[in-house]
Amino acid sequence: MPIEPILLIHGGAGDITDARVPGKLEGMKKSLRSAIEHLIPANGGEGSSLDAVEAAVRSMECDENFNAGYGACLNLDGKAEVEASIMEGDKLRAGCVTLIHDIMHPISVARYVMQKTHHTFLGGSAAQKFALDQGFEQMADGSLVTDDARRALQEFKDRQAKGLDTIFARTELDAEKSQDKEPVGESGSTVGAVAIDTKGNIAVATSTGGITGKVSGRIGDTPLLGCGTYADNQIGGVSTTGHGETIMRFNLAQKILAKIQYGNKTAQQATEEACKEMTERLVGTGGAITIDAKGQVGIYWTSKRMAYAYVKSGKIFYGINHNEQFEEEL
């Protein structure tokens, strides 16, 4: 029996300000509309979940409202070091890249790693060289840097100079005592997509610029399979977002899928339970989007906000605050 195709995306979880909400919502709807043709072709042909998640993420990598590609967060040296991963759930093929710079679409570089090499993960100068060898454009230094990213870095440095909390100096005990539990410097704008097509093929893609003020060479959860991204046709697919160090240590994507596989949880139950358990144990916040093998959707986050949207039955459903969902025609 054919499965109803679904494309589900997120635009990041974190302490997203009111001013940034409209841009994120519009950016996600634009992403869905640009990518849905790959999942549900207008001519009635067979769609591809893998093509759909790549297209959705590529759209958000071009949008400065998100922390991926153009608009990526800056490290302490003022550079945008980006990373991404993509995975398909049939043969469990995957491609991951990290520490590349001045390339607009790290998600497409990750797909090239998956399809054109015998490897799964490339990083640093080797990943950069691979991308250029494959024809990706080496943009001018700083081309992905926006004014907002520069301001965020300066604010981060100002806080450091005043001896205020930072994500590096702050201990978990300090965080537990704090009135807000959002790690300082958390960007809240990593992007991700999960899709299932009519054949039941699940694909996941995630892309990010990391966190503001990270040290050069820092790698987050996004390019790590089982943490930021995972897809398995027999279970489901997950893309995560939030405080990377927390998500890595908890192995959030796999925790969600384990609840579906071994705990007989629905996609929503598994996503909510795992996110809550992560924050209860490790304090740091985050969220995830999930589609299980039955085509059920799961969406949850423990941070203040998470931007999400999905297409189902010709409509777009979206939101950014807890306990809210809007809908409109595709």
Q: Is 316 annotated as a binding residue?
A: no
Token readout for 192 is 């991700």
Helix (H, G, I), strand (E, B) or coil at 314: coil
Is residue 209 marked as binding?
A: no
Residue 242 is labelled as binding a ligand: yes
Q: Is 319 annotated as a binding residue?
A: no
DSSP 19: G
* Single-letter code of the amino acid located at 195: A
Q: How far is CA 85 from the centre of its chain?
A: 9
CA atoms within 13 Å, Cβ hemisphere of 206: 35
Contacts of 93 (CB under 8 A, 6+ apart): 87, 114, 115
Active-site residue, selected from the candidate residues 98, 190, 206, 212: 190
Asked if 275 and 287 count as a contact pair (C-beta separation under 8 A), the reply is: yes
Q: What sign has the CA pseudo-torsion 81, 82, 85, 86?
A: negative
Q: How far is CA 193 from CA 77, 99, 152, 230, 324, in A?
A: 30, 21, 26, 11, 20
Q: Is 241 marked within a binding site?
A: yes
Active-site residue flag, 190? yes
Tell me the C-alpha distance between 136 and 326, whole Å: 37
**63 is annotated as contributing to ligand binding:** no
Backbone angles phi, psi at 79, to 5 degrees: -105, 150
- What residues form the annotated binding site? 218-221, 241-244
Active site residues: 190
- What residues form the annotated binding site for substrate? 218-221, 241-244
